[in-house]
Structures are given as structure tokens and as C-alpha cells.
Structure 1
Amino acid sequence: MKKVSDILTRKGSSVVAIDANALVLDALRLMAERNIGSVIVTEDGEYAGLLTERDYARKVILEGRSSDGTTVREIMSTGLPRILPNSSIETCMHIMSDSNIRYLPVFSYDKLCGIISISDVVAETILFHEATIEHLKSYIQS
């Protein structure tokens, strides 16, 4: 069974982070530059939460706030479920579905070691199924 560590091995474990005191506009620019939909939020260099495009849409745009007058801390998501590198992909799918979230921080010994998205989970599942199909084809042909 595929694990979160397989995703991190494939995509890498580096994360893009921004300080909680930064302006939302700066976070949006960072996400646009990196072509990502979320960014880790830090306070004093430690994980504090996650800022997503969904946070921006719901907590800035819909509330009529200003991107250059609102700090990341004001709209970031906190208290997200945490997963371990040895968590199964299936577990991640259940957590994401049940919690209606698209991103999960990955922790090892209380230290952030990556982040996975629903896209990562889908891609890993597809790769697993493709490998299984190829293995079955090879088995049938031999």
C-alpha cells in the first residue's frame, strides 16, 4: 500500500512558507510565483498554520477585506489534521474527504516535513494503478 512518504519522495519535502505577519497580498504573490494553492504559515520559524486560496476567497474577498491591509495570521487555517510519513494514501483520502480540505501537513516527531495536496494523492493513486496494470499485463503475457 502506498504511503505519504512515497509522495514526498516523488515530489520532494521542501515547503514554501511565509511569516504570519506578512500581508495577504504578499502571500498571494508568492503562491502565484510558485504556482501553488497553499503556503505554510510560520511564527518564529515554527509551523503555525496554512494559508490556502480558499482561505483568501472566503475570508478576504467575500468579507470585503483588503489583501494589502490584512495579515496572513488573520485568515490562515489552523488546527488542520496532521499526518505522518507512514500514513497510507487511503487514510489521507478519508481525512481530506471527511474534513473537506485539500491540503495536509506532514509531521514527523512534531517537525513539519512536507505538505501534500489532493492532487498529490490522486497522482500517486494513478501511478500505483498504472504500475499494477503493467505488472498484470506482463504476468498475462508471460
Structure 2
Amino acid sequence: MVIGTKWDVEEEGTAGQLLNDIVLREIMTQDVFILDITSTALEVAQAMKDNNIGSIIVSKDGNPAGIITERDIVHKVMAEDVKPSTMLAEEIMSSPIITVKSSTDVIKASEIMVKSGIRRLGVTNGDDEITGIVTDRDILTVAPGLNTILEDLIEMNREHDIPETAEFGRGICQRCDSYVDSLSPVNGLMLCEDCKEDEGYYD
């Protein structure tokens, strides 16, 4: 089934209901790894490597305080030439972490991601305990028709002072499958900024 636009989903009851019936508890990653806020960037990176994960939840006094992703490690530690063992998780985490209930449907979750400018949501069981993580990739894997919805939402929430660049376009990165607002052609592929750097290509 192909979904043409946001309005198609709203007007075609069957398609809209199908997407509304998919809730986050069905697609979220349940293996959530949590480290204390006093952990170092080195310990965070080692935990990511040992557990083959791309993000860590940071807690303070037993409560979720933020999230650290691989991108945070690269941009806030490596790119700044900081010794990982000297920087604390508190200094590099994104906070507060945005969470939603596990009963939230994928359309609502995608709207929250776009409006907040994030790729991951913490999923709770109704209280403050984070029981899972859901990414934009998780959502697009189960509901690929959402890419047009996300495109519409990005357009509606776009900052007017961000200039349009002809060589960039919105879509799904052909390497990491993330839906992003800007893609660049690199070696015959349309890649996001992170994957473009991984390919060794710089503007």
C-alpha cells in the first residue's frame, strides 16, 4: 500500500487506521542501557561498543536525566579533542530526554520527533521509568508511507530563515536509512551529513 500525502492518510480511513493501530510498544527496542550521570565519556563509549548500541540513557538519582548518542560522542568529545576519561556524561548528554508512553501510535511519535528535531524517543510504561527506545528508522521500517507525512511536517515546521539549497533534498539516507531534512549525492548515493562524513567526503 502506498500512501501519497498526509491528507491521503487522514481521508482514507483504512490507511489512517492501519498506522494509528501501530503503537510504540510493538516496535521499540526494549534493551535500554542506563549509566549514571557521573559516568565518563569513555565509559559511555565502551558501553555502546560492548552492547552494540547507538545510544545510552543517562540517569540522575535513579531518574532519567538525558540521552547520549554516538553523534554526541563524535561532536562533543572527539571533534573537540577532549580526553574521553576526563569528560562526564552530564557534559555531553542531550537533556531533558523526550519521552512518550508505549501506547503512543507511530503517527503521533513521528510528529513529536519532527517538531522536536530528534531521531530518538524514550518510551515509558506510564511513569518515569524508560522501558524502551524508538528511532525514526524503527518507525519508517514498519510504516514506510510515513516518509511523506514526515516531509509535510518538516515543511510545516521549517524555520523560515533557513535557506533552500538546490543540491540538498529531504528523504531517507541510502546508507543508514534515517529520514533527514537534507541529503547530498556522494558516490552515486544520497547520504545524510553523518554518512557523508563517514564516506570521507567534506564540503
TM-score over 0.5 for the alignment? yes
Aligned to 1:19: 36
Among candidates 134, 137, 140, match of residue 116 of structure 1: 134
1:83-104 alpha-carbon deviations (Å, 9 max, x no partner): 1111111111222223221211
Aligned to 2:197: none
Aligned to 1:135: none
Paired residue total: 123
In structure 2, the residue corresponding to 1:83 is in which secondary structure?
Answer: strand
Q: CA deviation at 1:39?
A: 0.6
In structure 1, stretches of 5+ residues that fail to align are 127-142
Aligned to 1:78: 95
Equivalent position amino acid for 1:73 in 2: E
Name whichever structure is richer in helix by fraction. Answer: 1
Equivalent position amino acid for 1:2 in 2: I
Q: CA deviation at 1:64?
A: 2.5
Aligned to 1:125: 143
Which of structure 1's runs of 4+ aligned residues deviate more than 3 A? none
Q: CA deviation at 1:75?
A: 0.7
Aligned to 1:37: 54
Q: Percent identity, aligned pairs only? A: 30
- TM-score (norm. length: structure 2): 0.56
In structure 2, the residue corresponding to 1:68 is in which secondary structure?
Answer: helix
Please give the alpha-carbon distance, in whole angstroms, between the structure 1 residues aligned to 2:78 and 2:117. 20
Aligned to 2:16: none
In structure 2, stretches of 5+ residues that fail to align are 1-20, 145-203
1:8-49 alpha-carbon deviations (Å, 9 max, x no partner): 4xx4x3311111111111111111111111011112222111
Aligned to 2:184: none
The yes-or-no answer on 1:5 pairing with 2:25 is yes
Aligned to 2:85: 68
Please give the alpha-carbon distance, in whole angstroms, between the structure 1 residues aligned to 2:31 and 2:79. 31
- TM-score (norm. length: structure 1): 0.77
Aligned to 2:158: none
The yes-or-no answer on 1:89 pairing with 2:89 is no
Alpha-carbon RMSD: 1.7
Please give the alpha-carbon distance, in whole angstroms, between the structure 2 residues aligned to 1:81 and 1:26. 23
Higher relative contact order (CA 8 A, sep 6+): 1
Q: CA deviation at 1:118?
A: 1.9
1:119-141 alpha-carbon deviations (Å, 9 max, x no partner): 22222325xxxxxxxxxxxxxxx
